[in-house]
Chains A and B, each alone.
Chain A
Amino acid sequence: MKPKLVLGIFSIVLFTSLLMYNFGNSISTYVNFEQAETRSSSHVVGVWDSSQEYGFSRETMQFSFYMKDEDGDVRRVVYPRPKPNNFEQATQLVVIGEMRNNVFHANDMLMKCPSKYNDMSEIEFSSAEGN
């Protein structure tokens, strides 16, 4: 009975620590562009800077735009896929990738959209205003 219990506790502890260790490694923290420069892969949160040029280039097959991080730094972001759906609507962007020479090379991108699930106070009644 006793050795079994010890074995059981031992394997539970081993499993849990392994799991937590791996979990800790597989999550990362959100950073700004400046911090991203020294990291190999980072998640940066920000908003699209719509005052500058953006778009998909058929020559380089990349979508590029400027993004302002939470500290107000603006950097160019390139993304090797077509412009995602809902890009312009996003109230917040998360780009995942690597900073190289002041350009952020994103290999993944998440958009937080106001669409259905947010408070509507910011959204205008564009079709209703004419009432």
Chain B
Amino acid sequence: MMGTLGNVFLAGSFVAALFALITYAISAYREDKKIESISHKLWVTKGVFLLIASGILIYLTMTHQFQYYYVWNYTSLDLETQYLFSAFYGGQEGSFMLWVICSFIVGLGLIKWTRKPYRAPVMFVMTLTQVFLLSMVVGWDIFGINIGASPFRTIAQEMPNAPFIQANPDFVPNDGSGLNDLLKSPWMMIHPPIIFVGFAMMTVPFAFAIASLWTKTYHDWIKPALPWTLAANLCLLTAIFLGGYWAYETLSFGGYWAWDPVENASLVPWLIGTAGIHAMIIQRKSARAHKAAIFLAILAYIGIVYQTFLTRSGVLADQSVHSFVDLGLYGQLLLFILVMTFMGIGFYLYRYKDLPSPEKESTILSREFMTFTGSMLLLILGLVIILGTSSPVLGRLFVDNPTPPEMAFYNQWSMPIVIIMALFTVLGQHLFWKRYTWESLAGVLTIPLILTSIASVLSIVLGDVRSIYYMVFIFAAWFAVIGNAAVIVDLMKRKPKLIGGALNHIGFGVLLLGILASSVYTESLLDERTANYNQRIAQGDVYDEEGFPVTTPREMFEMELNSPKLINEKWMVTYEGYELSDSPRAGQQTYRLKFEPIDGGRTFYMNPEVYPMLTTSTMDNIEWSVDPHVRTGWTSDIYLYVAGSKYVQQENERVAAMGEMQPAVDQEDDKQTVEINKGETAEAGEFSFTFQEFLPAEENQLPDDTQIGIRSLIRVEHVPSGEAYEVEPLFAVYTEEGRSFTYAPTLEIERWSLKVQFTSVLPESDSIELTVEGLSQSFEEDWILVVAEIKPFVSVVWLGTFLLMGGFSVSLLRHWSREKKTGENS
């Protein structure tokens, strides 16, 4: 059986890792080259075994072997090949395996490039983390204690008490339960690998920091560690960007960031890693801040393990939309974090007295002081976010059953911190490259300050910014952009390879501008009626049926088919119907909304989608998911989704009726007769019928042997909407085999599914009788509920992120090539 084979290779990999741990420890302790090379072989063996196990898991997935719980749970027959492949890391167990594979590859790089005396201790730490991660997936049961959960367990092993397993232990489901539709996105396919490469690389500075404490060589470790940290940060940043972009494009919570614990889990290590990079740079340039550099390198990895613990142990289950299942790994994860923390922080404290300290304090106007401040601010921001994310644990200090903090907590604390950061980046970057006194610094900064003031005033006036706090924020962000741009201009003339740092700091300023504009100045798109209603809510004039004031404004509006509405006094919006299709998702509706700018700009269409989530829908209940349409623009994005529609409602009613096993529609005869005098109007249901006049019937429409044949001109009006049609039903009496018959063909007004029949003429009163069918089904125009927002300058958020990526890449290349040169020379 393939699954058993998989388990064997996983176990082999775990055992190899355990042996490697021992041999690396010995070789580090004795500085024994021979044992070290054995350890490397064990490392490679471990990796190869794991790759084989992963290969088996992928094979099982590709061949749809649904007797395996993992395969059944994350895939289905109709899944496209690329998603079958990515299902490998779609679940908790596979994602642990991916993490180990990434660290394995990073380890190969370390074996190749790391110099003495760091190699063995660094690899020891790397192996230790691998032992823990592999223990999460081995799935051993020793004396009743479960170690890890294997991805190769079968359905029978997963739920031995399920009735169908009891009945038939070899039960194999026909089809899997499938991958969540929301995750079927190319962004989500590449997001996990990038994040795990980032996590794996972030282990490297941690390992080097421990190795430096171990070997008591506190100076040199940052040279090899710095490029790894930069690369780790670049990966985490890319992963954060992809996650944010995915959330914005596919989820309906309307933004790229929600301070969700899982999002924070990648942001915090990034912040602490960046803090560590600052400290390492001081150490490298000025042989100072050893303590901070080692401490932060340790903390960045502990941050990763801690956030892994929070998101995977089930502690956060109530709080996050995407926390993982509790696989019973609580104890193991807790042990992982405790060992890492005690080893890291404990070793650090043990060596603390031994660590070099600077002989004299640095002055405020020095690059050391400024860079160090930046590092500390990043650390503080990271700690604040950790505090917020830890509310289920730390919140118990205050209340029994703590809820997550309000989003305002994060915003209120991060805003002042980033304002100070933004101002310091400019001073720091200037001082980094040249010495200044207060006077000369003021002189250099005059022009950037003037430009910043102009840019800020323009932004404040054009953006109609009223809050003083935001004005300060805008000023600080523009200062970061313009002040650091001045540094770049200066550097370009002298050493263009060194612009990485300044580029990063510009990116940071740009990012701040984008975040403020796109989050604070997001506006709901609304029709006039809803906008007026919201205005009355704001004035406190709206009360609900119980007499309480309504406080929540409406953030949606309704559109009816082909009736245009003026939205935000800017666009004439028309709902033009929807299209049903089965591709790429079965039962998907694509709605079409036409936007015509009233100032004469170019017309455009928005095409939001709604589709049934097949993986979670059941026979009597369809679960709908929305796919928003985002119209990206340079200055603003329009974000729009359909929150409800007539079609969805009808489908729900239809399915609900089927589920209740009732006949679909009550076959109640709702025919009704209407008598109308000539020239008069009669009402029935929601309709009015006006008998205007008799018309002659045409010969060819009549049956043979017709005695009387006549048509009547009837105007049918749908009273609520005022829409009207004219129909000309026919009435005839003919004879066949000596008997008289009436002939009254039914005319249908399809739009209202209304059937009209001219069933009798009453000559004595000059009136006619109509038989109408379909009155009781009140006609409803096709409608949709629209939720839409206009978000200014989301593009600037992305621009800032790209600049940061660019800056990190430039620094990475520079430090890497320098490190390689030293490597070759030594």
Shortest C-beta distance, B19 to chain A (Å), equals: 34
Instruction: Report the Cα distance A125→B174, complex, angstroms.
Output: 10
Instruction: Report the Cα distance A79→B208, complex, angstroms.
Output: 53
Inter-chain contact A115/B546, CB cutoff 8 Å: no
Inter-chain contact A131/B399, CB cutoff 8 Å: no
Interface centre among A15, A29, A121, A123 (most CB of B within 10 A): A29
Interface size counted on chain B using CB atoms at 8 A: 71
Inter-chain contact B174/A128, CB cutoff 8 Å: yes
If the complex has contacts A29-B403, A61-B556, A131-B174, are A117 and B325 also in contact, measured as CB distance less than 8 A? yes
Inter-chain contact B616/A82, CB cutoff 8 Å: no
- Cβ of B552 < 8 Å from any Cβ of A? yes
If the complex has contacts A29-B399, A115-B180, A119-B325, are A56 and B318 also in contact, measured as CB distance less than 8 A? no
Task: Please tell me which stretch of B26-34, B157-165, B728-736 contacts chain A, meaning at least 4 of its Cβ atoms lie within 8 angstroms of it.
Answer: B157-165
A1-44 interface code vs B (CB 8 A; 1 in, 0 out): 00000000000000100011011101111100000000000010
If the complex has contacts A85-B625, A85-B626, A86-B616, are A26 and B405 also in contact, measured as CB distance less than 8 A? yes
- Cβ of A74 < 8 Å from any Cβ of B? no
Instruction: Report the Cα distance A22→B412, complex, angstroms.
Output: 10
Instruction: Report the Cα distance A107→B407, complex, angstroms.
Output: 14
**Which B residues between 365 and 390 are near A, CB-CB below 8 angstroms?**
380, 384, 387-388
Which residues of chain A come closer than 8 Å to B391, judged between CB atoms? Answer: 23, 27
Choose from A82, A105, A107, A110 the contact partner of B556 (Cβ within 8 Å): A82
* Main secondary structure on A side of the interface with B: loop
Inter-chain contact B409/A89, CB cutoff 8 Å: no
Shortest C-beta distance, B385 to chain A (Å), equals: 11
Which residues of chain A come closer than 8 Å to B554, judged between CB atoms? Answer: 61, 80
* Main secondary structure on B side of the interface with A: loop
Shortest C-beta distance, A90 to chain B (Å), equals: 10
- Cβ of A75 < 8 Å from any Cβ of B? no
Which residues of chain B come closer than 8 Å to A89, judged between CB atoms? Answer: 616, 623
Choose from A117, A121, A128 the contact partner of B175 (Cβ within 8 Å): A128
Which residues of chain A come closer than 8 Å to B164, judged between CB atoms? Answer: 125, 129
Inter-chain contact B403/A100, CB cutoff 8 Å: no
B544-567 interface code vs A (CB 8 A; 1 in, 0 out): 001010001011101000000000
Choose from B73, B175, B321, B643 the contact partner of A127 (Cβ within 8 Å): B175
Which residues of chain A come closer than 8 Å to B69, judged between CB atoms? Answer: 120
Inter-chain contact B787/A82, CB cutoff 8 Å: yes
If the complex has contacts A24-B398, A85-B624, A88-B621, are A120 and B73 also in contact, measured as CB distance less than 8 A? yes
Inter-chain contact B403/A82, CB cutoff 8 Å: no
- Cβ of B214 < 8 Å from any Cβ of A? no
Which residues of chain B come closer than 8 Å to A130, judged between CB atoms? Answer: 174
B88-101 interface code vs A (CB 8 A; 1 in, 0 out): 00111000000000
Inter-chain contact B171/A131, CB cutoff 8 Å: yes
Inter-chain contact A121/B174, CB cutoff 8 Å: no
Inter-chain contact B388/A23, CB cutoff 8 Å: yes
Q: Which residue of B lies closest to A126 (CB)?
A: B618
**Which A residues between 50 and 88 are near B, CB-CB below 8 angstroms?**
56, 58, 61, 80-83, 85-86, 88
Shortest C-beta distance, B369 to chain A (Å), equals: 13
Which residues of chain A come closer than 8 Å to B783, judged between CB atoms? Answer: 58
Inter-chain contact B413/A19, CB cutoff 8 Å: yes
**B residues whose Cβ falls under 8 Å from a Cβ of A:** 66, 69, 73-74, 90-92, 158-159, 161-162, 164, 171-175, 177, 180, 252, 317-319, 321-325, 380, 384, 387-388, 391, 394-395, 397-406, 408-409, 412-413, 546, 548, 552, 554-556, 558, 613, 615-616, 618-619, 621, 623-626, 643-644, 783, 785, 787
Pairs across A and B, CB under 8 Å, 14 listed: A19-B413, A23-B387, A23-B388, A26-B408, A28-B399, A29-B401, A29-B402, A30-B401, A30-B403, A115-B616, A117-B92, A126-B618, A126-B619, A131-B174
- Known pairs A85-B623, A126-B619; list 5 more (Cβ under 8 Å): A86-B613, A94-B318, A100-B548, A117-B325, A128-B175
